[in-house]
Amino acid sequence: MNTANIPLLTVCIITYNHEKFIRETLDSVLMQKTNFNFKILIGEDCSTDKTRTILLEYQKKHPDKIDLLLNKQNLGPQRNLMQVHNSAQTKYIAMLDGDDFWTDPDKLQYQVDFLEKNQDYSGCFHTISFNTINTSNRYNYPENVKQDSFDTNEIISMVTRKWIIMTSSIVYNKIKTGNLPNWMYKLKIGDIPVNLLIAHAGKVLYMNKTMGSYRENVGSLMTTNAYNTINITKQRILTFKLFNQHTNYKYRITVFKQFLALFYELIKDADLKKDKLNSIYYSVQFNYYTIRLKHINKAKSIKNNLLFLADCFRFIFNKVNHGGAL
């Protein structure tokens, strides 16, 4: 069997109303120089501009390279992302948003070469040139990264410290990671859960090499109310709860520590707004995970279960009577 023409990688793109950007996005993929075959799979989510027309034009020019998933109704970014990623049938997936683009023609070859030679890694990402709205300012992100290899617990901790994995920089092993699970339908964010699943499958490498560009544009998720700090904090909490269940609580100590940081942010916001009910609710959550961490390595017994419950009541009573998280 001749496997030379079987694609090794799929470039997964989701797009909606990217008429101004999609040509540059596609050209940056088509310029890639590789010694392997790859496909471009695009989920077009019922754009109201000329995005779909442009995609059909490109597919006509590159019928063997470009496959289109032309949604009959708007799915939203999360469902569109899951549809595209789960439809990819190659060993590797490269992620690229429809308003971003790559700047290095050797990007895909560089990342795939590393993953092929280092089977204990499930993914790798790189520096991105960051473009802000209504300005020509450009800077590289991330900068001053002190390590290049990350395990699962380090990726989990990255969520509340400094997230450095830009979506359009990641290439990962689809065979190791598998399809995106159905619990992701409950979320409104895709980058963090996808990268948690990648990290769960193996180590992740950071490449200090700028090979792409992120474009922050009007109408993108980061410019909408859905991306405000509080909504994102709540989404991250839900992500960790679902990921925790998915991995059978394998990383529960690290996850619970992230809960403390995230619930603390919600407490501060509620206190700032003088929202006492939510302040109490988030503080109870904060104290619950504080107690879970305290008891996590203790053997299960009637005595230890009673001590756990006693700690819970003590923390809750203290919050109601004195206010503030302990």
- Give the tens place of pLDDT for each residue, 144-154: 999 999 999 99
Ranked by mean pLDDT, the top range of 123-137, 218-232, 274-288 is 274-288
**What does pLDDT average to over the chain?**
89
Categorize the per-residue pLDDT at 304 as very low, low, confident or very high, splitting at 50, 70 and 90: low
If one compares 324 and 231, the residue with the highest pLDDT of the two is 231
Identify the CA nearest to 152 among candidates 249, 73, 28.
249
Q: Is 50 exceeded by the pLDDT of residue 216?
A: yes
The region of weakest confidence among 59-68, 173-182, 187-196, 282-291 is: 282-291
Roughly how many angstroms between the first and final C-alpha of the chain, as a whole number?
A: 65
Q: What are the boundaries of each domain within the chain?
A: 9-225, 251-322
Give me the pLDDT at residue 321, please: 43
CATH: 3.30.70.930, 3.60.60.10, 3.20.20.70, 3.90.550.10. Which one for 9-225? Answer: 3.90.550.10
If one compares 88 and 315, the residue with the highest pLDDT of the two is 88
197 Cβ neighbours under 8 A, 6+ residues apart: 177, 178, 180, 181, 243, 246
User: What is the three-class DSSP state of 148?
Assistant: coil
The arithmetic mean of pLDDT across residues 22-27, rounded, is: 97
* CA dist list (Å): 326 to 150, 260, 270, 291, 312: 31, 11, 16, 11, 12
Give me the pLDDT at residue 1, please: 40
Helix ranges restricted to H, 118-180? 152-161, 174-177
Determine if the pTM surpasses 0.85. Answer: yes
The arithmetic mean of pLDDT across residues 13-40, rounded, is: 97
The arithmetic mean of pLDDT across residues 157-185, rounded, is: 96
Distance, in Å, from the CA atom of 317 to the CA atom of 321, rounded to the nearest integer, reads 6
If one compares 138 and 47, the residue with the highest pLDDT of the two is 47
Q: Is 60 exceeded by the pLDDT of residue 134?
A: no
Give me the pLDDT at residue 2, please: 44
Categorize the per-residue pLDDT at 86 as very low, low, confident or very high, splitting at 50, 70 and 90: very high
Beta bridge partners of 221: none
Q: What percent of the chain has pLDDT over 90?
A: 78
Give me the pLDDT at residue 138, please: 78
Q: Is 50 exceeded by the pLDDT of residue 120?
A: yes
Identify the CA nearest to 308 among candidates 321, 320, 294.
294
Q: Is 50 exceeded by the pLDDT of residue 324?
A: no
